[in-house]
Amino acid sequence: MLICENLSFSIDGHKLFSNIDFKIKKEKDLLITGPSGIGKTTLLSVLCGLQIPTEGSIRYNDISLYSLSENKIDEFRGKHLGIVFQSFNLINAFTIKQNLQIANTAEGSQDTDHLYDLLERVGLADKSHIKVSNLSIGEKQRVAVARAFIGQPKWIFCDEPTSSLDDKNTDIITNLIKEESLRHKASLILITHDKRVQSILNFNEILRLGEVL
């Protein structure tokens, strides 16, 4: 279970969000919505241990995330969380295979069968030798999704995963995220304004930033 209690975040004295409380049980999903600039991406970063909250606590089962050292937070994130960044965060000069190999090694695994299985499922096995810089936006997004699942995580975080995609690729990416989450019995926490995504995924909980909580 992911438990978020009294979470607040301020930057330069400006409070971005405050008093956020929610619980997400195993294999349940959360949609985060709200206007631009309200702090959705920052909240996701805080939940993933990438930015420290001003107040509040985050617990994954019996682990209090911010009671861990920075190295232990990094280790926990690598072992248990998968993240699909809005900007992909791929290494453009590397091939698809190399990008996944780096993630695979970072997870402490040398399981190349799992890596190729993921590439098969995202439809990129025949392009594993191609550099990321030569891929379409839709293909880059599929690589980003595959990388997020490389460590077989139990919590998946996605930041506007379809913001630059046409209808066809939106369906592909959204269904891919849904299928992989179900395959790994993972909880999904997703930021989106995209009504196409919301029509495909049935979220158990919705958190609307900017509303009275």
Q: What are the residue ranges spanned by the domains of the chain?
A: 2-208
What one-character-per-residue DSSP string does 125-168 give?
A: GGGTTSBGGGS-HHHHHHHHHHHHTTT--SEEEEESTTTT--HH
| pLDDT per residue as tens digits for the range 88-127 | 899 999 999 999 988 887 666 556 677 888 888 888 999 9
> What is the Cα–Cα distance from 158 to 189, expressed in whole angstroms?
6
Segment (H or E) for 167? helix 167-183
Query: What token pair was written down for 57?
Result: 């606590």
Check residue 107 and give its pLDDT: 63
* Residue 206 to residues 19, 28, 186, 195, 201, Cα–Cα distance (Å): 16, 11, 17, 13, 12
Q: Determine the length of the chain.
A: 213
pTM of the model: 0.90
Closest to 199 (Cα-Cα) out of 162, 148, 154: 162
Check residue 213 and give its pLDDT: 42
> What is the Cα–Cα distance from 101 to 107, expressed in whole angstroms?
10
Q: Mean pLDDT over residues 72-100, rounded?
A: 92
Query: 34 in helix, strand or coil?
Result: coil
Check residue 121 and give its pLDDT: 86
| Class of CATH domain 2-208 | alpha beta
Q: Mean pLDDT over residues 183-201, rounded?
A: 90
